Structure 1
Amino acid sequence: MRVLLYILAILVANVLTAKLQPLNMGIFVVPIGTFLIGITFIMRDLVQNQLGRRKTYYIIITALFLSAITSLLLGDTLWVVFASAISFALSETTDTEIYSRLRTSMNYRVMYSGLVGGLLDSTVFVVVGISPLGTGFVPWDAVPLAIAGQVIVKSVMQLIGALIIGKFINTLEDTNATKNRVSSTL
């Protein structure tokens, strides 16, 4: 189920970005799919918890392939698909490796790995894909705002996810600790 939700979140983010107008947030213009991309990093972490690091990379490759096909079918240019694939591969790999190496609670691993992954995803995609270096959709003077808008949204989604995971994990651990105390006294 986690794998399916992870892949669906990526594909739905592609569709939303292609089909809906970006959201104007003050000085930032943020593609609607950005909200789901923040969640995909969390979903990837949950997939890794379930399947392990090695199998997670197979899922990432599958998601990358499906994402590229979806983008092409939605009419994205080859350059945008290329930039998306590069940013996806780099950000998901970075998220996976940071998440794997941190030795702290799950909610902090989710938060830290996702923040770095989101920053890389936004920066690489905007610079390679839609700046004058790529398709030229965004002029150089707007590139920092395009990156910042996406990073802010992805970071907020990561923080919300980390808080929810922190609350869920703490509650689960408290429940398990109580059960263990009760069963050990019987």
Structure 2
Amino acid sequence: MPLLRGPLVLVLVLVLVLLDAADAQLPFIGRCPRPPILKHFQVHPYLGTWYEHEKFFTFFDLGGKCVHSIYTDQGYGRIGVENQQIKVLTGKMNSIVGVARVVDPHQSARLRVVFSNTPNFGNGANYNVLETDYHNYAVVWSCKDYKLFNTQFLRILTRKRHPDAYMIKDVKNRLEYYGLKTSKLKTTNQRDCPYGY
């Protein structure tokens, strides 16, 4: 029986990583870092279009450009989420639609986003707003802790498709200070996007 322990643990770890891959998260060694989550998050100024400037790898964005998210008020505490992109190989628009809800009314920047037709594992926050000024940038992060390793999701969103480089540098410096690995961020291709998209 002890011989089965090693392979069984390996299979369990592999299943957990694959489940997180479906949830679009990047694995790291060790426990989750503890960056500060925004206090007093306001939903209404956050609504509207945000362009993805940089992110940890996600399957949704694979082979895509012009990635952006549109947040709308759905009423009853629900926030509509539509992530859109253009597939580079086909030139066609691709989108995924979901709903976000605040997980804890005392921590309004901790949300749970559930997308249509995708697996939904758990009920905790998977969309934590670390920072935003509502007019220029926002940082969204989540982490699942498995004690020996963790999986993280990180996005820097901007109101402009091509934001100020100094602003991005300042944001990334703060993220590094919080213990987040900005070297793993990938810049999203926002070039040659159709007008109004």
More strand by share: 2
More helix by share: 1
TM-score by length of 1: 0.30
